[in-house]
Amino acid sequence: MKKLMILGAGIYQVPLIQKAKEMGLYTIAVSIPGPYPGFACADEVCYLDTRNQEAVLTAAKEKQISGICTSGTDVAVRTIGFVCDALHLPGISREAAVTVTDKWYMKEAFAKGGVSTARFCKVSSLSEALLAASDIGYPICLKAVDKSGSRGIRKVCTPSEMETAWNLCMAVTDCDYLLVEEYLQAEEIGVDGFVQNHKLTLCIPHQKFVYRAGAVCIPGGHSFPYQGSSELLSNIRHQIELAIDAVGIDHCPFNADLFVRENRVWIIEIGGRSGATCIPELMSIHCGFDYYEKMILSALGESPSFDSPASNPCMAKLLFCEKGGLLSRIQPAPLKQLEAEGVQYHLDYSIGSHLPSVKNGTDRIGHVIAATDQESEIDRYLGLLKQSLILEP
């Protein structure tokens, strides 16, 4: 029996573990101890930090794994590249993994590869940030280079706002530098797909929903398909191909963030793993095949086929809690209504748990997924999920 090592045991890794088991694979979940739902799904658990490359490699050798992968998180990508290189497994390389998990390295690669992207500058002090912002022109985005889910990202409109933004971004990063980036007035979209044998084999743009938590914009969901002109869609594909070549990712899914305006395209970032926020589920509905299965086949070196994907409309949105609180009861009636309407839903917390107040994308408390092209419908479903939760005052 082939063994698949999956890094992470959280909400976004559970479907990957479950699909691997359905495919007859022996699953090994790797994560630090904690209340992670993936532990109950996997055949075996290794209680390790997924960022500890040497420890994960040692475990991978001992278990004689056939493949290694993750979904929905950047945290484990460098370790995947390290293990793939060391054990000659199919998947992202160590060099590419380092490039796509540091926004500075990534942007440098974009610049060298001729990728259309926002102007940027690496800064190591508040004074450097002020100089870079003055040169690029306000407003700018100040970014932690090693975080995702909108953590460590602040829009700065004037020099007087820079110090506060600097302190907030430096408080979350593990690096000693940040990125100052041009703020583009354009529509932000996402693109997910696959790279196999240095070729773009699947490229699916999608609309992004944004949840605003104070001054922070958080990824709140997605809508498929993305409606754009043939020229824009062609430009998106071309820039994705340039970005893939620039950062060197191969034998893996990818997730990218782009800005578009009219028919112009700017690549903001690209990652060597599937997107979060229900993207694999949406890709499965939209394309008409199981996206998790494709990810697993790729990790095992079996080059999945993407011939003639469908184009089914679908949407997903995350549920957040503005004030937080103790979850005292879950009402079954709204959930039964969701089930009756064929809506996929998930609640991340059980009765007695304290729900976090929303600050970034990791503070989600649930989601809904549906085959619909009407945002009003997905909002109604999200409202039903919210109605099921009773918090203590």
Question: pTM value?
Answer: 0.93
pLDDT surpassing 90 at residue 342: yes
Strands 187-196 and 252-261: antiparallel
The answer to whether the CB of 149 falls within 8 A of the CB of 10 is: no
**Averaged pLDDT for residues 74-96:** 97
Percent of the chain with pLDDT over 90: 92
Q: Residue 215: which pLDDT band, with cuts at 50, 70 and 90? A: low
Kindly indicate the confidence band of residue 11, based on its pLDDT and cuts at 50, 70 and 90.
very high
What is the DSSP secondary-structure string of 285-354?
HHHTS-HHHHHHHHHTT------S-----EEEEEE--SS-EEEEEE-HHHHHHHHHTT-EEEES--TTPE
Question: Quick one: pLDDT band at residue 326, thresholds 50, 70, 90?
Answer: very high
String of b and e for 347-381 (b: at least 16 CB within 10 Å)? bbbeeeeebbebebbebbbbbbbbbbeeeebbebb
pLDDT(154) > 90: yes
The answer to which of 33-37, 216-220, 380-384, 389-393 has the lowest mean pLDDT is: 216-220
Average pLDDT over residues 157-165: 97
Q: Decide if pLDDT at 32 tops 70.
A: yes
Q: Is the pLDDT of residue 377 over 90?
A: yes
Task: Kindly state the percentage of the chain with pLDDT values over 70.
Answer: 99
CA distance 146 to 100: 9
Query: Is it the case that residue 149 has pLDDT exceeding 90?
Result: no
Mean pLDDT (the chain) is 95
In DSSP notation, 48-59 reads --TT-HHHHHHH
The pLDDT, as a whole number, for residue 150 is 74
The stretch 373-387 carries a mean pLDDT of 97
pLDDT > 90? residue 180: yes
Q: Is residue 28 within 8 Å of residue 17, measured between CB atoms? A: no
Neighbouring C-beta atoms of residue 173, cutoff 10 Å: 16
Look at phi and psi of residue 277 and say left if phi exceeds 0, alpha if psi is from -120 to 50, else beta: left
**Mean pLDDT lowest among 213-217, 319-323, 356-360:** 213-217
- Coil, helix or strand for 80? helix
Measured distance CA(110)–CA(101) in Å, rounded: 14
pLDDT number for residue 218: 84
pLDDT, mean of residues 158-180: 97
Residue 129's SS3 state is: helix
Band (pLDDT 50/70/90 cuts) for residue 9 is: very high
Instruction: Answer for the pair 68, 89: CB distance below 8 angstroms, yes or no.
Output: yes
